[in-house]
Structure 1
Amino acid sequence: MQPRMNIAHLAPDLYRAVAALDGAVKTSGIDDRLLHLVKLRASQINGCAYCVDLHVKEALADGLSAQMLHLLPVWRESPFFDDRDRAALEWTESVTLAAQTGIPDAAFEVVRAAFSETEIAQLTIAIGTINIWNRIAVSSRLQHPLEMGPESVREAK
């Protein structure tokens, strides 16, 4: 699959604005571990290979376990995730899939039980921001780097 376009070069001012928003999210006070989980889960839902690859690498570098990351798609069944994680992941899924979920009151009640209003606002903006990045990457077919060459990938199958 070939990249379609380089959005950063074609719309640099807008791209920088998204990057600035992402920087503001990173310094907003959201726990780094939780932010990794939110970014990775939204990227999985949106089918963004580039973002999944990036956020797995960042999470591992920051000390999250590989096992936790492997179990993220099935977080409801795993003891790795505490009540705040579960609330944030429920909210991430509801907001990311807004067209399908309608962001139900039940999801809001779960997140409201675990987070302050300010934290919910910050979390919602973080979810919106990763969804922007996912849509930029998926629509432009941004390619994740291969740790090995294409020939090695075929041989490994």
Structure 2
Amino acid sequence: MTKRFSYQTSGYQAMYGLHQYVQDCGLDHGLLELIRLRISQINGCAYCINMHAPLAQQNGISIVKIHLVAAWKEANVFSERELAALAWAEAVTALRDAEVPESVYRLAKVQFSENELSDLTLAVAEMNAWNRLMIASRTPPEIRQEESNDAIY
């Protein structure tokens, strides 16, 4: 796949400004990385999956959770707060029938304050924007040479 364009244009600073806000908003960085990974899986963004899996681990998310996040509904390793965040992230990413289901909102409302839910929604929107930028530009994942030899078979 050939890269189409560089994502690092003048608009990049605006995107990075949103990223900095989300990073500093007070939500747990591990939780943010967990939803970033899941959103990137949904959208099929190889660049972002490759970036956020190790960042999740660096921010305290276990390798088991990283491996199971694609099947989080069936896994029994996530906290109630993580489950609410993952459900919210999926609903906001998909926007089926142009809405977030009331049941998902009620679950999130129990785990997050109004400000936190607003910030979580911004985090979801930010990750979706990054995914779309990377996918549209066909930016390949950055894989270090030592990682390319790590076959798991």
Gaps of 5+ in 2: none
Q: Does structure 2 retain, via aligned residues, the 8 Å contact 1:94–1:101? A: no
Structure with the higher fraction of residues in helix conformation: 1
Computing the radius of gyration from Cα coordinates, the structure with the larger value is 1
Deviation at 1:139, TM superposition (A): 0.5
Q: Distance in 2 between the 1:17 and 1:107 partners?
A: 30
1 CA distance for matches of 2:98 and 2:84?
16
Deviates more, 1:43-52 or 1:96-105: 96-105
Instruction: Show the counterpart of 2:101.
Output: 104
Runs of 4+ in 1 over 4 A off after TM superposition: none
RMSD: 2.1
Deviation track 1:49-107 (CA, whole Å, cap 9, x = no partner) reads 00000001211223322221000011112121011111110000000001456211111
Change (3 A) 1:34 1:156: closer
User: What SS does the corresponding residue of 1:130 show, helix, strand or coil?
Assistant: helix
What are the ranges of 5 or more consecutive residues in structure 1 without an aligned counterpart?
none
Offset of residue 6 of structure 1: 0.5
1:90 aligned residue (73, 87, 91) = 87
Alignment check: 8 A CA contact 1:34 1:85 kept: yes
Residues 94 and 103 in structure 1, CA contact (< 8 A), matched pair in contact too: yes
Q: 1:113/1:125 Cα in 2 relative to 1: closer, same or farther (>3 Å)?
A: same
Identity of aligned residues (%): 35
Query: How many residues were matched structurally?
Result: 152
For residue 109 of structure 1, report the CA deviation from its aligned partner. Answer: 1.1
* TM-score, length-scaled by structure 1: 0.88
